[in-house]
A and B are shown apart, each in its own frame.
Chain A
Amino acid sequence: MGWGEVKQGIRRVNFIVCAIGMAMVIPLMLLTFADVMLRGFFNKPIPGTFELSQYILAIFILLGAAYTQQVRGHVGVDFVTSRLSPRLRVYCEILTTLLSLFIIAIVIWQGWVEGITEKAVSDQLRIPQYPFRVLVAVGGFLLWLELLIDLFGAFGKLRRNEP
């Protein structure tokens, strides 16, 4: 299996993972809507709407982080680098991607350490918090792989430009 296939595989996984998170937004919308309606008309709110919303948001955001990087969604400033020579631009890309990999690696490590030891449960439904905290590490790892693809891509550009 070549790098090309691995890369495609990672991207595919990241898209599917993002789609899982994404699909939960409609239930989130309907849950909140139903909660307001039941509260307003029958004075019977849905217990735990607040905490379920928080958990859904966490899934949605953390699982979407990698795909957002795939579509270049994490914005940066390019009006300086776009004026540099192609070679210099690739060097900038390598440096900044390495630094991003560094900080996300810390997020993964600490996300795991902090997540797995979390004992808190939600107020009403008593749902433990740790699986969602661990998602910081999971989502961070997928984001890290996406950044790694970018790094290899930059090295590839550098090699192809070599005389």
Chain B
Amino acid sequence: MTPIAAGIVGSFLLLLLLFLGMPIAFVMMFVGFLGISYLASVHAALPVVANTVYETAAYYPYTIIPLFILMGAFAGGAGITAKLYGSFDKWFRKLPGGLGIATIAASAFFAALSGSSVAAAAAMGTIAIPEMRRFKYDPALAVGVVAAGGTLSFLIPPSLGFVVYGMLTEQSIGKLLVSGILPGLVLSLSFIAVIVVKVKLNPVLAPVTPGHVSWKEKIRALGGVWETMLVFFIVMGGIYLGFVNPTEAGAIGATALFVIVISKLKLTWRGLSTALVEATRISVLVLFLVAGANVFSYFLALSTIPASVSAWMASLQISPYAVLSLIVLIYVMLGCFLDAISMMVLTMPVIFPVVKTLGFDPIWFGVVCVMMMEAGLITPPVGLNVYTLAGVVKDVPMATIFRGSMPFLCAMIGVVILITIFPGIALYLPSMMGR
């Protein structure tokens, strides 16, 4: 077999075992090991897996993962979600679909403290959905808003999505995180636009919430927002100005939120151990996936597939934007079946060299990728946010949640197109960063 043929056989074996249900990290290690044994030698292949596992598990920049997860868990434990929701409700009550807008705004702000999206969807689900249903909102709209709002955690830093992308492509995690700020804002606004347009077209979907809010109350409600803003500005400001590296910023953010939880006397053993178990589970999952991906990439590099595919793509003389559209389409489809992080880990070894050859900016492509990861969280049949929500609101069928999320999925695609036309939305802030 030529190396390329071996690479193709290996990739098919990977897909087969994947569909048989083998954990993705172990599949990549296993196939990578077989491939390296074949293309190099068994002797060379034997130590690769164990060494990769150690090097991944003891790599300083990855300490950011548990820290980001702790940030989200402490923020949830401190009751910040409910406070944000209460504040924004006061501000947006009179707008069409006001509670929905408040949900998106609160999700966006919570996203500024949390790196993982499922926690956000679950936390917001228990607060916002009962409220929206109490005021007779259409169930599909209510759950759709929460599912979509939860995905914002992936784009608005701190974000696990950018960390994983940065790990796989060796791009600066700090720049990636900063690049997510403006697109995150644009996406939140486009979600709000979706709600406003839907409710304007069909006011029955969201009856106006009764009750007048005075300006005094509105000003006082801002008190629920300042902690979030403060922590966000310290964390992202520190990274932006180059005072701290992203890991240190994560530690500062987590410590600050830890202090907030303690000062509110809301730290319980149970809460702390749940937070730590969550941090462990996600960190181990991510780092084993990355270790698997590194083993598999080594095999693919030996097979010369990434280089050949890139060369072939470049020789095709078709517009890079046609290839990009194809990649986005592939991600939308993969997102239907794979969870966000596995999708990145499985595709990046081949897709990233292609994207670089086509001349796209790696940081900009990171934003596109993270948005595609977000889309995967709400597409049927296995959108993770939808599953989480289905667990929280037991009386709304899963199909309704998917139907409710569809308009927001379209908004995501719209924003991807927008940042393709105006890459500055993603690249302006990182280009100004201090070093």
Nearest chain A CB to B185 CB, angstrom units: 27
Cα–Cα distance between A114 and B338 once the two chains are bound (Å) = 34
Contacts of A68 in B (CB 8 A): 280-281, 284-285, 288
| Complexed CA–CA distance, A81 and B281 (Å) | 24
User: A74–B57 contact, CB under 8 A?
Assistant: no
Contact of B154 with A by CB under 8 A: no
Is B226 in the interface zone, CB < 8 Å from A?
no
Q: Which residues of A contact B67 (CB under 8 A)?
A: 25, 28-29, 32
Q: List 17 A-B contacts (CB under 8 A).
A: A25-B70, A29-B258, A31-B251, A32-B63, A40-B243, A57-B57, A58-B54, A60-B66, A60-B283, A76-B21, A80-B19, A81-B19, A93-B21, A100-B26, A107-B29, A109-B50, A140-B50
The 6 closest A-B CB pairs, nearest first, are A32-B251, A96-B22, A110-B50, A74-B23, A58-B58, A61-B57
Nearest-neighbour CB distance to chain B for A101, whole angstroms, equals 9
B252 at the interface (CB under 8 A from A): yes
CA distance A56 to B60 in the complex (A): 10
Please give the distance in Å from B212's CB to the nearest CB on chain A.
Answer: 44
Question: Contacts A54-B58, A76-B23 known; A30 to B50 CB distance under 8 Å?
Answer: no
A92 within 8 A of B: yes
Contact status B382-A110, CB under 8 Å: no
Counting CB contacts under 8 A, is B269 at the interface? no
* B359 CB-CB contact with A under 8 Å: no
Contacts of A155 on B, CB cut-off 8 Å? none
Q: Does A13 contact B (CB under 8 A)?
A: no
B33 in the interface, Cβ–Cβ < 8 Å? yes
A99–B255 touching, CB < 8 Å: no
B62 smallest CB distance to A (angstroms): 6
Interface residues of B in 165-219 (CB under 8 A from A): none
Q: Are A80 and B20 in contact (CB under 8 A)?
A: yes
Does A106 sit within 8 A of B, measured CB to CB? yes
Contact present for A103 and B248 (CB under 8 Å): no
In the bound complex, do residue B284 and residue A106 qualify as a contact, i.e. CB atoms below 8 Å apart? no
List residues of chain A with CB within 8 A of the CB of B56.
61
Across the interface, name the chain B residue whose C-beta is closest to A58.
B58
Tell me if B413 counts as interface (CB < 8 A to partner A). Answer: no
With a cutoff of 8 Å between Cβ atoms, the chain B residues found around residue A114 in the complex are 47, 50-51, 54
Q: Does A36 contact B (CB under 8 A)?
A: yes
| Count of B interface residues, CB-CB < 8 Å | 57
In angstroms, how far is the closest chain A Cβ from the Cβ of B209?
40
Mark contacts of B278-290 with chain A using CB atoms, 8 A cut-off: 1 yes-contact digit, 0 otherwise: 0111111101110
Is B21 touching A62 in the complex (CB atoms < 8 A)? no
Q: List B contacts of A28 (CB < 8 A).
A: 63, 66-67, 251
The prevalent SS among residues of B at the interface is helix
Report B334-373 residues with CB < 8 Å from chain A CB: 337-339, 342
Cβ B57 vs Cβ A106 within 8 A: no
Given the interface contacts A29-B251, A68-B280, A96-B17, does A136 sit within 8 Å of B53 by beta carbon?
A: yes
Q: Is A65 an interface residue (CB 8 A)?
A: yes
> Other than the known A22-B280, A57-B59, A77-B337, what 18 A-B pairs have Cβ atoms closer than 8 Å?
A30-B251, A36-B252, A61-B283, A62-B53, A65-B288, A68-B280, A73-B284, A74-B25, A75-B339, A75-B342, A76-B22, A77-B338, A81-B21, A99-B26, A106-B33, A110-B51, A132-B54, A137-B50
The answer on a CB contact under 8 Å between B23 and A75 is yes
Q: Is the CB of A77 within 8 A of B19?
A: yes
Residues in B with CB closer than 8 Å to A133 are 54
Alpha-carbon separation in the docked complex, A45 to B251 (Å): 15
Note all chain B residues with C-beta closer than 8 A to A65: 284, 288
- Interface residue? B390 (CB, 8 A): no
Do the beta carbons of B22 and A73 come within 8 Å of each other? no
User: What residues of B have a CB within 8 angstroms of the CB of A23 in the complex?
Assistant: 276
Interface residues of A in 128-159 (CB under 8 A from B): 132-133, 136-137, 140
Residue of A21, A73, A133 with most chain B CB atoms under a 10 A cut-off:
A73
Q: Across the interface, do A61 and B70 meet the contact criterion of CB distance under 8 Å? A: no
Partner of A110, one of B25, B46, B252, B287: B46
Whether the Cβ atoms of A55 and B58 lie closer than 8 Å is yes
Instruction: Enumerate A68-125 residues with CB–CB distance to B below 8 Å.
Output: 68-69, 71, 73-81, 89, 92-93, 95-96, 99-100, 102-104, 106-111, 113-115
Contact A104 B26 (CB under 8 A): yes
Partner pick for B54 among A67, A76, A111, CB 8 A cutoff: A111
The residues of B that contact A76 with a CB separation of less than 8 Å are 18, 21-24
Residues of A27-43 whose CB lies within 8 A of B: 28-33, 35-36, 40
A77 vs B256: C-alpha distance in the bound complex, in angstroms? Answer: 37
Chain A residues in 8 Å Cβ range of B26: 74, 99-100, 103-104
Q: A35-B248, A92-B20, A99-B22 are in contact. Are A79 and B381 (CB under 8 A)?
A: yes
With both beta carbons as reference points, the residue of chain B lying nearest to A70 in the complex is identified as B281
Asked whether any CB of chain A lies closer than 8 Å to the CB of B406, the reply is: no
Whether B75 is near chain A, meaning CB under 8 Å from some CB there, is no
Chain A residue with the shortest CB-CB distance to B49: A107
